[in-house]
Structure 1
Amino acid sequence: MKALRLRLAVAAAAFFIVTPMAMPANAAIKCRDGNQNISGNWTPTPYCQDKLLFEVANSRGFKTSFAAIRNNPNHKKELCRFLFTDIRVEMTCLDAGVPGFIGGGR
């Protein structure tokens, strides 16, 4: 009886470990113009705002990466010092504290 319970426990554990791996990973964050699709509504999120800053910076000739913007707040501020007048990233840059005299920042 104990051996049967042990086998059932091992089989159940294997099932719960392997099943999520077999399912397709369709959990990618979808961004559009700095907004994230959350339950059918487009809401501004920090992740998508950073992605928009990355796209605007690259379109304006700045060589940067999305990871650099996400992982280094000073790099984000440095980009915003040049890009804060672009209306697409104005709120993102205000949240980052650039320009410092208008407000924003933390």
Structure 2
Amino acid sequence: MRQRKIPMRKCVASNEMKPKKEMVRLVRDKEGNVSIDPTGKKNGRGAYISLDPDLVKRAEDRHSLDQALNTKVEADFYKELFAYVEYQKARSELKNG
């Protein structure tokens, strides 16, 4: 049986290449609104970040998402992203654990 190719993406916080399933996509739409894209199919400028709360904090400190999405990302969005990443990480640990 042929092995499937695993799509890889680069994390904006750590600059590491990781499998797409281990990351979350963030998207900026035409109006400039930044949102979390769990499906990975929303239209707009996208960036990926690993499911690691420490990397979300690092991205906030370094304004990595501002640069990747070419817009000013608000502090409230980072709080929402942090909560989402913590939840997803806990879910994956329960699933794999």
Same fold (TM over 0.5): no
* Higher Cα radius of gyration: 1
State the TM-score, normalizing by the size of structure 1: 0.28
More helix by share: 1
TM-score, normalising length: structure 2: 0.30
Higher relative contact order (CA 8 A, sep 6+): 2
More strand by share: 2
